A and B are shown apart, each in its own frame.
Chain A
Amino acid sequence: MNSELIREIVDRNEANNNGLISTMEEIQSKFGYLPREALEKVAEKTNRSLVDIYGVATFYRAFSLEPRGEHLVSACLGTACHVRGASLVANEIGKQLGIEPGETTQDDKFTFETVNCLGACALGPVVVVDGHYFSQVNTSTVSDILKKSVEGFDKVEVATDERIFPIEVSCPRCNHSLMAPDHQMDGYPSIWITHSYGLKHGWLRMSSLYGSYKSEAEYDIPENQVINFFCPHCHTELIGAADCTECGTQMIPMIVRGGGTVQVCPRKGCKGHILDL
C-alpha cells in the first residue's frame, strides 16, 4: 500500500477542486480497486466522514472495493443485448474463466462482471474487455476475445487493419527526415528523436505505424511523465500550438512527407494524437 501515492493523488485533486469522484477514479485506476486505507485517507483529507466516502464507493458499479484481476471483462445483459443472447455469452465467459460474475480468477488474471447497459445497444451483444468494445459477440467468439485480452490489444495487425499505415516524418524546423531505416519497428523504419525529462537526456524511437503506440527509449520513462522532444539534427525543441485532446498537454508536431502534419502527445502512456493530411 503506497500511502505516499494516495496522499499525492488526494492533495492534487483537492488543489484542482476536482471533487470526490475523480479522486476516487484516479485511485482506482492506480490500484485497480479502492483499498480501505485509501478511502480512509480520502475521508481524512477531505474532511468528510468515512461512511460518506464508502457510500459513494458502493453506489457506483464502476468502483470496486475488492482487488480486481489484470483484465476486466464486462458482459452486457441489458435488454437489447439480452434478446440477442447475451446470457449465453455471459455463461460462456463464466464457463471458460471458471468463475461466476463478480468474481476474479485464482491467478488474478481476469475479473468477470455483468453490467446492465453499456449504451451501445445497436452493437449487442456487447462485451468490453479493459475498455475495448467487442460487438455482436456470440459463444464461439468468446475464446478469441479472451485470448486477445491476454496477448494485448495493442498488438497491431497491419495486414488486416486499414486504419493502420506507415508514415514518414521530418522535423518542422530543419525539415531533416526523422526516419531511421536501420532500426525497424513493427516492420517499418522507426521515428528517431532525442528526448529529455528531468536530468535524463537520450534517444527515443517510435513506431512509424499510424495506430501503433510502440516506443523505445534510452531510459525507462515513468507513466504519465511529460517529456520534451528535440530534433536530433538541428536540436530544436519540437513544440506545437495544439493541446492534447486527451490530457491537455502541449503536443509535439512533425511534418508528414507528402503534405500534412502529425501531432502526438508527449505524456508517456497518453495516446492523444492529431493527424492532419
Chain B
Amino acid sequence: MISFELNGLQVQVEEGSTLLEAAKFFGFPIPTLCHMDGLEPYGACRLCVVEIGEGSKAKLVTSCTYRAEEGLKVRTSSERVVKARKMIIELLLASTPQSKVIQDLAAEHHVMQQRFRQEHEDCILCGLCVRMCKEQMVAGAIGFRGRGENRSIGTPFDMKSEQCRLCGGCMYVCPVCTLRCTFNDPDRAVCGGCANLAAPCVEEEKFHDLMCYMSPCVACEIVEYEKEKQTKIEG
C-alpha cells in the first residue's frame, strides 16, 4: 500500500494505481477525455492535470498516467489546476467546436469564451479509437500517421482495411464524431445538436479528410436523396 496526501486528506492506495484512479475512488472528480477504463492510459488530452509537490517544486502532471508515490502531495482542483483545465477546454473548443462532449465539458467548467482562431477539425488526436481498435477489438486497423500538423488517424495507405471488423467501436469512443452519424435522423439524435450544426461531411470545405470508417459515408447521400424526394413531392 502507498499512502499519500490527496487534497489534504491522508489516503492509502494499492501500489501501481494512478492518481486518477485514487481520486475517483476517494470521490474527487477529475475530468478526462482521452481516458477510458479498459484502455491503456495515453495522456494525450491533458485535461486530467493535477498539481503535485509544494512551493516552487509544484508542477502539473496528468493524473491518468501518473502513479501514486509514497508521501506525494496532490491537489486535484487548486487554482492553477482549474486555470490550466479551462485553458485546455478553450483550446479544444477552438479546434473542434462541433463536439458535444467538448461543449458539455465547457459548460460544466464554466468556460464562457473562446479567444483563439476558430477551426473546424474533425479529430483531437486523443487516440481513443486507435487504442479501442488495437486493445479491445484486437484488429489494429487504424493508427496514427504522419506527424506535427499532418498527423492524422486512418488506415495504412488510406486503403479500405482488411483488418477492420466494421464494429464501429472507433466511432463509438470518439469524443468528436459522436454527432456524425445521427445527422440523417435528427429526431432520434440524442442531443439535437445536429439539427443546428451542419454535418461534418456536408461542409466539405471546412471538414476535409473525413475519417469515418465507412468512408465514403452514405449518411449524407441518404439526406440528399430524402431532400430530392421531398422536393419532388412538393413540386
Task: Give A contacts to B, CB under 8 Å.
Answer: 36, 39, 48-55, 58-59
Contacts and interface: CB of A to CB of B under 8 A. Distances in A.
B142 A58 contact: no
10 contacts: A49-B139, A49-B140, A49-B143, A50-B163, A51-B140, A51-B143, A52-B143, A54-B143, A54-B145, A55-B145
Contact of B141 (A36, A48, A51): A51
Contact of B157 (A36, A52, A59): A36
A55 B141 CA distance: 12
A51 B146 contact: no
A33 to B, nearest CB: 13
Interface of B: 134, 139-147, 155-157, 163
Nearest to A39: B156
Nearest to A59: B147
A53 B144 CA distance: 10
A58 B140 contact: no
Given A36-B157, A51-B145, A58-B146, 8 more contacts: A49-B134, A51-B142, A51-B143, A51-B155, A53-B156, A55-B143, A55-B144, A55-B145
A70 B224 CA distance: 50
B156 A51 contact: yes
Contacts of A48: 140
Contact of B145 (A36, A49, A58): A58
A48 B156 CA distance: 13
A53 B140 CA distance: 11
Main secondary structure of the interface of A (DSSP, over half): helix
B156 A54 contact: yes
B157 A54 contact: yes
A58 B147 contact: yes
Nearest to A51: B143
A59 B145 CA distance: 7
Contacts of A59: 146-147
B140 A52 contact: yes
A66 to B, nearest CB: 12
Contacts of B155: 51
A54 to B, nearest CB: 4
Contacts of B144: 55
Most chain-A CB neighbours within 10 Å: which of B139, B141, B156?
B156
- Identify the 6 closest CB pairs spanning chains A and B, nearest first: A49-B140, A51-B143, A54-B156, A58-B146, A50-B156, A58-B145
Most chain-B CB neighbours within 10 Å: which of A48, A51, A54, A55?
A51
Contacts of B145: 51, 54-55, 58
Contacts of B146: 58-59
B126 to A, nearest CB: 16
Nearest to B146: A58
Contacts of A49: 134, 139-141, 143, 163
Contacts of B134: 49
Contacts of A53: 156
B134 to A, nearest CB: 7
A219 B134 CA distance: 52
Nearest to B154: A51
Nearest to A49: B140
Nearest to B150: A58
Nearest to B163: A49
Contacts of B139: 49
A49 B131 CA distance: 13
B153 to A, nearest CB: 10
Contacts of B157: 36, 54
Contacts of B156: 39, 50-51, 53-54
